[in-house]
Structure 1
Amino acid sequence: MRQRISLLAACGLVAVGLTTPTAMAAESADPVFRLDGQSALALRPYPATGSPQPVAVSFHLEDTGSFGGEFTFTVDRAPVAGIASVKESSAAPQKCVESGTKLICKDKGPRPGVDLVATAEKEAKEGASGTVEVTGTAAGATVTPARTTLQIGGPDLVMKDLGLKKDPKPGESQALPLAFRNESTQSAKGVVLELEATRGLELPERYDNCTYRTTGTATKVVCTVEGEFEGKATYELAGDSPLHLKAGANALNERFGYGIYPLGAPQKAADAKRPDAAGAATAAGRKLTARKKAEAAPAPLRAPDLNPVDNKRVADLTVPNTADFAAEPLTVKGAAGTTVKAVVAARNNGPAWVTGTGPAAVVDVVLPQGVKVVTAPAACRAVQPALYRCATGPVVLENEKLAFPFELKIEKAVKDAKGAITVGGLDAKGEPKRHDFDKVLTNNQAAFTANPTATPTKSPSPSASGSASPSASKSASPSAGSSTGSTTGNNASAAAGGRSGGPLASTGSTAGLVGLAGAGLFAVGAALYLSFRRRGNGGAHA
């Protein structure tokens, strides 16, 4: 008989990332540094044969900047006596000395702290727990303490590989038959399901017991399933609450992550610090009052997992799609000695967005004769006196315009002086080349003209099968092709050249962001729910 567990709206989830600020009781002249550590860790029980498995426990300060002083850290191990053995890690530089149930450690630098290892004691029973506390002191500074709860045993959830199709077409949808196994002997009292994907991916379904946090490039979805997930059992997503992953029209290089974690005890919202009614004012017989604002419910808390490395899977998807980068022509006018402002511009005409580990696009600017740069944007640098290279960040959205404002000086008024603006990517050696996904070659380069003698006219629309633009030259004044420039619009009539010798080529990078695109998501109502059912003894999907 199949066991079903429903994921209902009553779980009370809120958006991921909400935090409650900690109020300082009083301001101090000394800098305050926060000691970071894991909130809880699970230790494998002492084995019947062999040595216990160690788990790393680290505590470090946030960046101390120019403080420079030495910190003393005290590790109190008394609360875990008989439960866990806590020692300094032999893999790190030795900073500590034993002092009874305490470790006294000294360190300094940009992120001072202490690295420890913990193992279960032989006599410790499964389910036993204790808390290690680390405090810190330093002359001229205040350190907030940190605590880590160590528990013996716990769930060991393993997310199974979905075997997703790695090259879906734009608009193509595929099912997400999520399945996981609890490899431990201890049950999980509820689980947290986390899904994250890049902008070009969509989840058509939405459920009331999941929360969706979307940014311009990503969305993260967090759902909870309440109930008991027994040890040595496998669970799969029930058919009455399906999930699908759809490649959007803007998809290109995408990433989808999916993970399962034990559900921890509910967190308590911090009490509000302001009074229910304060500073009441009277006007025309009515009182303006303030009341206590209800605090938002916190995000679900993960409980420790015996082996956190297998809780999550990540799939990289390469969608056969295109993005069309187009340079915009630019014209400047002025007499000798004139200083003018000019914006070098390009655009991603889509349909896909572009993301990678380095610049998503670069724009090369060849200055016309007689023109000199007075000030350039921070994103641009001089490759040669007459050649500037501007780099974007790792993301360029579909239909996004790239703008680089320059201040230029016309040192010599040369009529119809020609330069060029070329947009594309970088190869492995850092040289500009056309992106592989950019199939429209005629608009990668546009004219940059100084003091034109003719009235600028718009060129005909480019053809995807048209000839390529010439390679971007590193010389001071290469040819920029025919036709005069304009202050607005695309120049589609770049000079002819071979397709394989276009100015730019693909970066070949894959998406590095995680999240789930908000575009295309829609509510399906409270009647639908997400559930997991226990599978038979046949095992889980590999």
Structure 2
Amino acid sequence: MTQQARRLRARLAALGAVGATALAAAGVQGAAHAADAPLPVVITGEDRVDLSLHSDNGDPTEPQVDLRLDVPGTPFEGDGEVPPVHLGDYTVRIDARGLKGVAKADLPCDADGLVAVCSGYDLYAGTTYNRVGGIRLDLADDSEAGDAGKIVVTGEGEGLDFRPLTIDVRVGGPELLNRELSLPKTLKAGETFEPPLGVMNVGGLPAEGTVLRLYGSRGLSFPDGFGNCSSSVVDTGPLLRQHTEVLCTFPGILEAGAAYSLAGPVRVKTADFALHDIFSYSFRPLEPGEAKTLHRGEGRRQGSGPDLTLQRAGEADPAQYTKYAELDLPTTNTYDLELTGASASGRAGDTVTAEIGFANNGPAWISALRSGGEPFSFTVVAPEGSTVTSAPKECRTITVDGSVPGHRCSVATPLREDARLTFPFELRVDRVVEGARGKVAMPDWDNPFDSDPANDTAWIVLNAPDAPGDGGAGGSDGGPSAGPSAPGTGDEGGSDGPDSGTNGTNGTSGGAAGGDTGGGLALTGAQGVGLLGGAALLALGLGAGVVAHQRRRARREGEAAA
């Protein structure tokens, strides 16, 4: 019994019969359900485990089977104690006697040889809080290729209807490894690659048919439409998950210990924007009856060309075959990250907006597939005489170069090859400094894929010499000011890298960047902000203003008459 179950049972005992009834009425749904009909409970977990004769079958401390109970209802989401849907004793029995002479089994709970019994009291909606335990399977001293057995998991409890689980265990079955790939270093974006694909059955039994899976991330495609293959394309949603998948079926036998290669080439097409896209392929045994349904999935397109076939290869070295075969390609493309600054003017006390622009001018996209979407970052330092009053949510305050207050802004990846982002900063003009400049900069790094590092820096300019400003008290003497020179590196009080978490979006932030204003500056100003603010005030508060004015006028007239 779990510690939480013991606490709940003790609480119910203290409440007594009346308290337990009230608790059930307040949300313990299982008691009411059990009174009407048995609550269906599905025992879940891996229903098949293949043990290899040529490996340690994974981490010996990790179970291959995770047993859980799936209970109807909406899984709990939120804070606080999870409400149960059933209260009452139940047991789950794990019978692994069918593995005698086949494999060793490490069972959870109270085990007596190859039989274990797990007990519980409370059940919750879904599977998250209903874990029974894990089963670890390993080869026995007398395990041989072709040995097979079963584990049967059943359950019982008053008011519960358990659906049992049968786990098939097989030793030394077909085990397919893939021929290793080598990186084509001269491959350029837009070109086609023909990888040498092959498979070797290192298992103890033949494979009665096989399935080939080809995978390419967003920048890769497979132009061949073989008749025994079908494809599906995901080109919407998060860029991290956009891809093309091809499945091909081969009905022939793959003998144990034999290697095979494809009779014809398979082409991988790279897009003009491709860079560090992931290509992978894998073979696996074909399940009985799977060939009839595999190509009929929703969104799959069947090929109309000739079939792709396998042919037996000569002598092969198992060391040249691997479980995972994949490449990042191409590696020769570049992108151009560009920052654009802003120009604004205002008097002391005014608030102005500076829209920082971030763009990828291509031709490559920034996939960041291996890091799961690790963001880029750049720093922003406000011009002298101004204070940032509002920053985009993607930006956090930091100390730049050890002493200069500033912000670090994160740009989520993957990032399209034509991405245009804006980061609006609101600045309060504390005192007018003619020509004050604040620096916007990418990190000072050696990035071989950024084709033009010169545009990785931009400026926010306040009150340029030809712009109107407030020359009164607190202002400058009219001379230009370079403002603080803040490099794009250093982060005292913050991490050296971006602080936002990784995600699978395309990295959009704010609206689209404005048009090219020349010199990386976009003209804004307090005058424009004031005009927009006045228009909004007029639209939202005109009626209220008129009523207030009429009331004041009536009050003054009444006082005068008195």
TM-score w.r.t. the length of structure 1 is 0.59
**1:87 equivalent in alignment to 2:105:** yes
User: 2:343 and 2:291 mapped to 1: Cα distance?
Assistant: 61
Q: 1:43 aligns with which of 38, 44, 51?
A: 51
3-state SS, counterpart of residue 333 of structure 2 = coil
**1:196 equivalent in alignment to 2:218:** no
* Residues 385, 429 of structure 2: 8 Å contact kept: yes
Other-structure match for 2:231: 211
Q: Deviations over 1:370-416 (max 9, x none)?
A: 33233333321111374111112242221112333444434444443
User: 1:136 and 1:391 mapped to 2: Cα distance?
Assistant: 53
Q: Deviations over 1:415-458 (max 9, x none)?
A: 4331122235xxxxxxx5352222313211122123445379xx
Other-structure match for 1:236: 261
Other-structure match for 1:538: none
User: 1:184 and 1:43 mapped to 2: Cα distance?
Assistant: 10
Q: Deviations over 1:241-260 (max 9, x none)?
A: x2122443223333321111
**1:76 equivalent in alignment to 2:94:** yes
Q: Which runs of 5+ in 2 are unaligned?
A: 1-26, 31-38, 123-127, 302-320, 469-484, 493-512, 522-562
User: 1:33 and 1:366 mapped to 2: Cα distance?
Assistant: 59
Bigger Rg over Cα: 2
Other-structure match for 1:375: 390
Q: 1:393 aligns with which of 399, 412, 422?
A: 412
Q: Deviations over 1:203-254 (max 9, x none)?
A: 3323352222334354141313131323232221112xx2122443223333
User: 1:82 and 1:29 mapped to 2: Cα distance?
Assistant: 42
Other-structure match for 2:150: 130
Q: Deviations over 1:257-278 (max 9, x none)?
A: 11111122457999xxxxxxxx
Other-structure match for 1:439: 451
**1:255 equivalent in alignment to 2:278:** yes
Displacement, 1:180? 0.5
3-state SS, counterpart of residue 158 of structure 1 = strand
**1:222 equivalent in alignment to 2:222:** no
Q: 2:361 aligns with which of 313, 332, 349?
A: 349
TM-score w.r.t. the length of structure 2 is 0.57
**1:58 equivalent in alignment to 2:65:** yes
**1:489 equivalent in alignment to 2:505:** no
Evaluate the alpha carbon distance shift between residue 445 and residue 120 of structure 1 in structure 2; reply closer, same or farther with a 3 A threshold.
Answer: closer
Displacement, 1:195? 1.9
Note the 1:166-185 alignment, pairs <5 A: 166-185=185-204
User: 2:175 and 2:330 mapped to 1: Cα distance?
Assistant: 32
* Residues 173, 246 of structure 1: 8 Å contact kept: yes
Evaluate the alpha carbon distance shift between residue 342 and residue 146 of structure 1 in structure 2; reply closer, same or farther with a 3 A threshold.
Answer: farther
Evaluate the alpha carbon distance shift between residue 348 and residue 102 of structure 1 in structure 2; reply closer, same or farther with a 3 A threshold.
Answer: same
User: 1:438 and 1:474 mapped to 2: Cα distance?
Assistant: 21
* Residues 64, 111 of structure 1: 8 Å contact kept: no
* Residues 59, 146 of structure 1: 8 Å contact kept: no
* Residues 194, 259 of structure 1: 8 Å contact kept: yes
How many aligned positions are there? Answer: 396
**1:97 equivalent in alignment to 2:110:** yes
Other-structure match for 1:364: 379
Other-structure match for 2:287: 264
**1:472 equivalent in alignment to 2:491:** no
3-state SS, counterpart of residue 355 of structure 1 = coil
Evaluate the alpha carbon distance shift between residue 42 and residue 75 of structure 1 in structure 2; reply closer, same or farther with a 3 A threshold.
Answer: farther
Other-structure match for 2:338: 326
* Residues 35, 145 of structure 1: 8 Å contact kept: yes
Displacement, 1:315? 2.2
* Residues 46, 120 of structure 1: 8 Å contact kept: no
* Residues 447, 491 of structure 1: 8 Å contact kept: no
More helix by share: 2
* Residues 176, 201 of structure 2: 8 Å contact kept: yes
Evaluate the alpha carbon distance shift between residue 238 and residue 493 of structure 1 in structure 2; reply closer, same or farther with a 3 A threshold.
Answer: same
3-state SS, counterpart of residue 323 of structure 1 = coil
* Residues 190, 270 of structure 2: 8 Å contact kept: yes
User: 1:247 and 1:400 mapped to 2: Cα distance?
Assistant: 20
User: 2:54 and 2:277 mapped to 1: Cα distance?
Assistant: 42
Amino acid at match of 1:203: F
Amino acid at match of 1:352: A
* Residues 252, 352 of structure 1: 8 Å contact kept: yes
Amino acid at match of 2:234: T
Other-structure match for 2:439: 420
Displacement, 1:197? 3.0
* Residues 73, 114 of structure 1: 8 Å contact kept: no
3-state SS, counterpart of residue 395 of structure 1 = coil
User: 1:35 and 1:404 mapped to 2: Cα distance?
Assistant: 51
Displacement, 1:324? 0.7
Note the 1:268-283 alignment, pairs <5 A: none
3-state SS, counterpart of residue 443 of structure 1 = helix
**1:402 equivalent in alignment to 2:417:** no
Evaluate the alpha carbon distance shift between residue 32 and residue 371 of structure 1 in structure 2; reply closer, same or farther with a 3 A threshold.
Answer: farther
Amino acid at match of 2:393: A
User: 1:336 and 1:82 mapped to 2: Cα distance?
Assistant: 86
Displacement, 1:326? 0.6
3-state SS, counterpart of residue 438 of structure 1 = coil
* Residues 344, 405 of structure 1: 8 Å contact kept: yes
* Residues 98, 149 of structure 2: 8 Å contact kept: yes
* Residues 330, 487 of structure 1: 8 Å contact kept: no
* Residues 88, 96 of structure 1: 8 Å contact kept: no
3-state SS, counterpart of residue 184 of structure 1 = coil
Amino acid at match of 1:57: Q
Q: Deviations over 1:183-218 (max 9, x none)?
A: 224222322212223333343323352222334354
3-state SS, counterpart of residue 442 of structure 1 = helix
Amino acid at match of 2:170: Q
* Residues 111, 117 of structure 2: 8 Å contact kept: yes
